[in-house]
Amino acid sequence: MNISRERLAWAIILVGFAVFVLILVSVPVALNSVRLNAMRPLTIRVQANQGTVAVDDETGTRSAVFTDDVGREYEARVNLFTGTTDSGLVLFHLPNTDALVAWAQVYSNSNLTVDAAATPRFSSSGRPYRLILRLEQGRFRLTVPDNVLRPLTLQVITPQGELLINQPGQYAVEVVNVETRLVVLKGAAALIAQNQPLMINQDERGVIPLNQSPIGPLATERNLIQNGNFAQGLNHWVPLAWNIELSDQPEGEITSSRLSTEPAIRFFRLGTGHADVALRQLIDQDVADFTTLRLETTMIIHGQDVAVCGVRGSECPLTIRLEYVDTNGQNQIWQQGFYAVGEIIPNQTPDICVSCAVVQGPHQDVNLSQLAFYEIDMLTELARQGYLPPARIRSLSLIAAGHSFEVEVVNVGLLGRE
């Protein structure tokens, strides 16, 4: 009887010790696993760039984001829709900060879903940021900045396959005519379909046709602008002299800056009376055989004290000017102005430059202090206005004008395909 009790006591002691050791080992392991693997949502900010962006949140509730909104924030799955004349921005921020992990420019007639957007909960975790996007139709351009705190793993799912991105860069994704198209402007990505992966590197293009393996790498558009993302500061750009109306007033400054972690160029001036300055790049490129010629830029207008672009329409805080020779051998100038303050009023604040002998469209209104993008097919636009196409591009200039103004340009590109 005593032996049985002794055996029972030893059994209890040994079992208790085993449980103690198990708890001693498993609790730190479990806590470490939580530390390494726990995730929390990124903040998703949706802005309308032009027109209206419709957004369904995780509950299925639909809301509309307008161009004059400051943007709306979400934390979880969202579905975005743009119409024929609409475009928008989706910005992925670290929670409770302005630090950008990535952003997407969503173009017209697009249906983009954010299935997941997460960051490790604890800074000591080695896991990357995680994004899962689903593009049913349309087009978006994704920017993954350099020098973020940790890597990003991004999956883009389309009806034809998927894309995997895990390095900084710029990527244009399009779903049209039952195929997925990818252009890598910077970085590298993998196209996957029919269990077949295909790497697409910088300045390459890939296609996933319906029910087929990926095709590529293919030739892509050439960017005629050098250092258009300002990663090399002002290299390849020539700052022109400041034009100051009042002799006792100061010039401004053109400096390299950073939008979040992306390089940018900042135009800044504080003063009274008119002032303007330009950054010019000589291109001197024959484009007579080009089938497409697309101009694009991304910017932020932080402030301006002249409404719209002034009383003559010539004081836009940002103007893009393209000098070219048309197919008749005539020198021409095309320009587009942008503003963020004021309203168009005839005979007070005109919608075009009334003193400029140039090809131009109405000034574009963008949201103050918000990232905005602009894109136009130059061949289509010139034909629409009744002008001959360019045979040679001479130069492109970025012009800042007004009295007091602050503008950042994140990138500018002139992309053509022969």
Same domain, 360 and 251: yes
**Total residue count of the chain as it appears in this document:** 418
Structural domains of the chain, count: 3
Q: Is 225 a domain residue?
A: no
Q: Of the ranges 75-79, 161-165, 211-215, which one carries the lowest mean pLDDT score?
A: 75-79
Same domain, 33 and 171: no
Predicted pLDDT at 25: 65
Predicted pLDDT at 34: 44
Same domain, 27 and 57: no
Same domain, 197 and 253: no
CB-CB contact of 69 with 48 (8 Å): yes
The residue among 8 and 397 whose pLDDT is bigger is 397
* C-alpha–C-alpha distance, residues 268 and 81, integer Å: 36
Same domain, 61 and 184: yes
* C-alpha–C-alpha distance, residues 298 and 260, integer Å: 14
Stretch 386-391: mean pLDDT, rounded?
94
Q: How far is CA 296 from the centre of its chain?
A: 11
Helix (H, G, I), strand (E, B) or coil at 381: helix
**In 71-187, alpha helices (H):** none
Structure-token pair, residue 65: 């984001």
Percent of the chain with pLDDT over 90: 62
Stretch 260-287: mean pLDDT, rounded?
91
37: phi then psi, degrees, rounded to nearest 5: -110, -15
Which CATH number fits the domain that encloses residue 257?
2.60.120
pLDDT tens string 246-261: 999 999 999 988 776 6
Q: pTM of the full predicted structure?
A: 0.81
Which CATH number fits the domain that encloses residue 210?
2.60.120.1440
Q: Is 176 exposed, middle or buried (0-12, 13-18, 19+ CB in 10 A)?
A: exposed
**The pLDDT of residue 369 is above 80:** yes
28: enclosing H helix or E strand: helix 2-37
pLDDT tens string 358-368: 999 999 999 99
Structure-token pair, residue 107: 């173009």
Same domain, 383 and 292: yes
* C-alpha–C-alpha distance, residues 32 and 104, integer Å: 34
Stretch 388-397: mean pLDDT, rounded?
95
Could you tell me whether strands 169-176 and 100-106 are parallel, antiparallel, or unpaired per DSSP bridges? Answer: unpaired
pLDDT tens string 13-71: 777 777 776 776 665 554 444 444 567 888 899 999 988 999 988 888 888 888 877 78
Predicted pLDDT at 3: 59
CB-CB contact of 205 with 216 (8 Å): yes
* C-alpha–C-alpha distance, residues 200 and 347, integer Å: 52
Same domain, 298 and 397: yes
CA within 13 Å, CB half, 89? 27
Query: 96 in the Ramachandran plot: left (φ > 0), alpha (ψ -120 to 50) or beta?
Result: left
Answer whether the bond into residue 209 is a cis peptide, omega within 30°.
no
Same domain, 382 and 246: yes
The overall average pLDDT reported for the chain is 88
Same domain, 210 and 325: no
The domain in which residue 253 lies consists of 238-417
Going by pLDDT thresholds of 50, 70 and 90, the confidence category of residue 152 is confident
Going by pLDDT thresholds of 50, 70 and 90, the confidence category of residue 151 is confident
pLDDT tens string 82-141: 998 889 999 998 888 878 889 999 998 999 999 988 888 767 677 888 999 999 999 999
Same domain, 178 and 283: no
Q: Is 410 a domain residue?
A: yes
DSSP, res 345: B
Predicted pLDDT at 271: 93
Nearest to 170 by CA among 244, 223, 217, 238: 223
Q: Is 190 a domain residue?
A: yes
Q: Is 263 a domain residue?
A: yes
Same domain, 68 and 120: yes
Going by pLDDT thresholds of 50, 70 and 90, the confidence category of residue 328 is very high
Percent of the chain with pLDDT over 70: 93
Q: Is 232 a domain residue?
A: no
